[in-house]
């Protein structure tokens, strides 16, 4: 059996990091982990070929080679999905599709003949049997949230590793919180399910043996959703690092109450974690109450961010504007908070009603839903009728983004972060050849040609003099800022 696995193209968003790729000579930021995991569930005697449209083109010869085409996608990739489906129809190739896009919105894709909804672990044996018989069902639906200790090691060997900035791995699924706007609990539930630490270590070892030496994104919905299990994993990673001395480091997503557990923070840093994405959402107390962002309530969020930074973790923050409770000064509140806290990578988006979320159901019931979500958190348009004036919100969002990533404000935010950030003993002072290549490219573009060149040189100069161990971090953040400026300018 010949199986073509297709990962659709991701448009230019915050998470695509498209404008960073030119500095590091890569083609994509992240690999398609879900598709690699599905590939590992297929029989070993089947012939598999992976085409990631973020890395390479999909040729007709690839489609004609395959007996079946398997595709996995997120909401933001829906335009590319429709193009792949069209080409499969034209060439008479049967398509089986799954992933978050279809789990919450499969009714929108009548052109796709076979759909898989939910997590595949428990239904994959039936899918495999049906494919072998040539009689796949129109719809497969996972009966429950499966135990992921049965999940096999992803087929990283199918990747062109050198094309990616970062690898991806997963330890847990699910989040214990119930934020109104979030679709995680719809897709993965509120009870965090974890792999065995030894199982996750085996995945990391697979990457190490394949030659991976850079960052690994642990893509958990909330890495600390089950703190006891997380600590077991961190102990195992630390022991593995002592034995194998891998060059890779890690970043992940976690709730802000990570700031409350000093032991957990120390264990993460010792295990090689360098960054954490935190959903801060809003400095407005009313906004946090509205969306039920429970771990963020009743705390000094600036102090929490500083605690994480002082522990050796760079905080990447998620922020939202457009809550019903937002007042006319919400953009100033967000700007002031982000600048004061030194959250350099501030991923700000307009509130969007994702399919099947509690927010979606509420707005639909109130007759305020206008359209389905594009899945792009930087789309400067709302898919519902807001309480504040719609035009005011959309224009205010564009202006907020441009102010945040204007060179002077952005470099000032980096300096705030570097003052708080405590480097670890493992932080590299020497730059690798890849680091040097990225630096010289940034020197040419950001230091000579781009607006804000004086801020760039001031940042790097002051870092070399005052915090030389943080020089590599400063260069990296300067480069990432270029991507965000381009994204903001296109809104």
* All structural domains of the chain with their residue ranges: 2-141, 166-405, 433-489
Tokens of 441: 């490219």
pLDDT of residue 424: 64
The full length of the chain comes to 491
Query: pTM for this structure?
Result: 0.94
Q: What does the pLDDT look like over 120-130, one tens digit per residue?
A: 999 999 999 99
Which pLDDT band holds residue 219 (cuts at 50, 70, 90)?
A: very high
Q: Which of 14-28, 59-73, 80-94, 438-452 has the lowest mean pLDDT?
A: 438-452
Q: Give the span between the Cα atoms of 488 and 174, in whole angstroms.
A: 31
pLDDT of residue 16: 86
pLDDT of residue 429: 44
Q: What does the pLDDT look like over 369-382, one tens digit per residue?
A: 999 888 876 677 79
Using alpha carbons, select from 178, 249, 162, 176 the residue that is nearest to residue 434. 162
Q: What is the mean pLDDT of residues 99-119?
A: 96
Contact in structure between 280 and 317 (CB atoms under 8 Å): yes
pLDDT at residue 425 greater than cutoff 70: no
CATH of domain 2-141: 3.40.50.280
Q: What class has domain 166-405?
A: alpha beta
Contact in structure between 189 and 52 (CB atoms under 8 Å): no
Contact in structure between 36 and 156 (CB atoms under 8 Å): yes
Number of C-beta neighbours around residue 52 at 10 A? 25
Q: Give the span between the Cα atoms of 398 and 297, in whole angstroms.
A: 27
Contact in structure between 397 and 477 (CB atoms under 8 Å): no
Q: What is the mean pLDDT of the chain?
A: 93
Contact in structure between 49 and 3 (CB atoms under 8 Å): yes
Give the up-direction half-sphere exposure of residue 238: CA atoms within 13 A in the CB hemisphere: 13
Q: Which of 148-152, 316-320, 437-441 has the lowest mean pLDDT?
A: 437-441
pLDDT at residue 427 greater than cutoff 80: no
Q: Which residues of 85-116 are buried (b: 16+ CB within 10 A; e: fewer)?
A: bebbeeeebbbbbbbbbbbbbbeebeebbbbb
Q: Which of 128-132, 169-173, 484-488 has the lowest mean pLDDT?
A: 484-488
Q: What does the pLDDT look like over 430-483, one tens digit per residue?
A: 456 566 677 778 877 887 777 788 888 899 899 989 888 898 899 899 989 999
């Amino acid at each position: 059996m010949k199986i073509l696995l297709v990962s659709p193209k991701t448009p230019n968003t915050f998470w695509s990091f498209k404008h960073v790729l030119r500095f590091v000579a890569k083609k994509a930021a992240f690999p398609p982990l879900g598709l690699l995991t599905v590939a590992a569930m297929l029989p070993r005697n089947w012939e598999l070929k992976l085409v990631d449209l973020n890395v390479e083109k999909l040729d007709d010869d690839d489609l004609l080679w395959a007996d079946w085409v398997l595709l996995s996608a997120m909401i933001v990739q829906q335009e590319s999905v429709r193009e792949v489906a069209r080409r499969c129809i034209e060439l008479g190739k049967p398509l089986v599709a799954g992933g978050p896009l279809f789990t919450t919105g499969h009714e929108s894709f009548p052109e796709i003949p076979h759909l898989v909804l939910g997590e595949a672990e428990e239904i994959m044996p039936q899918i495999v049997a049906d494919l072998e018989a040539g009689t796949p069902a129109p719809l497969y639906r996972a009966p429950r949230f499966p135990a992921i200790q049965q999940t096999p090691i992803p087929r990283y060997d199918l990747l062109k590793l050198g094309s990616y900035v970062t690898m991806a791995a997963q330890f847990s699924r699910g989040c214990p919180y119930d934020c109104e706007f979030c679709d995680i609990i719809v897709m993965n539930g509120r009870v965090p399910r974890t792999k065995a630490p030894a199982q996750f270590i085996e995945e990391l070892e697979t990457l190490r043996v394949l030659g991976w030496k850079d960052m690994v994104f642990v893509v958990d919905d909330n890495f600390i959703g089950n703190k006891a299990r997380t600590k077991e994993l961190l102990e195992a990673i630390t022991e593995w690092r002592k034995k194998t001395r891998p060059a890779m480091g890690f970043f992940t997503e976690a709730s802000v109450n990570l700031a409350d557990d000093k032991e957990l923070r120390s264990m993460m840093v010792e295990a090689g974690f360098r960054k954490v994405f935190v959903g801060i959402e809003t400095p407005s107390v009313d906004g946090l109450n509205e969306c039920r962002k429970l771990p963020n309530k009743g705390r000094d969020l600036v102090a929490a961010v500083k605690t994480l930074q002082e522990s050796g973790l760079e905080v990447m923050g998620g922020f939202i504007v457009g809550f019903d409770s937002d007042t006319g000064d919400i953009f100033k509140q967000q700007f002031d908070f982000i600048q004061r806290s030194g959250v350099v990578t501030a991923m700000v988006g307009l509130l969007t009603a994702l399919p099947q979320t509690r927010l979606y159901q509420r707005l639909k019931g109130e007759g305020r839903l206008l359209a389905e979500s594009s899945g792009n958190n930087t789309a400067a348009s709302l898919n519902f009728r807001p309480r504040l004036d719609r035009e005011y919100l959309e224009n205010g969002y564009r202006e907020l983004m441009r102010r945040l990533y204007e060179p002077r404000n952005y470099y000032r935010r980096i300096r705030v972060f570097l003052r708080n950030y405590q480097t670890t003993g493992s932080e590299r002072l020497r730059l690798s050849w890849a680091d040097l290549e990225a630096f010289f490219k940034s020197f040419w573009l950001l230091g000579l040609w781009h607006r804000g060149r004086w801020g760039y040189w001031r940042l790097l100069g002051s870092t070399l003099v005052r915090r030389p161990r943080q020089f590599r971090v400063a260069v990296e953040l300067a480069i990432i800022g270029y991507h965000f400026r381009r994204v903001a300018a296109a809104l």
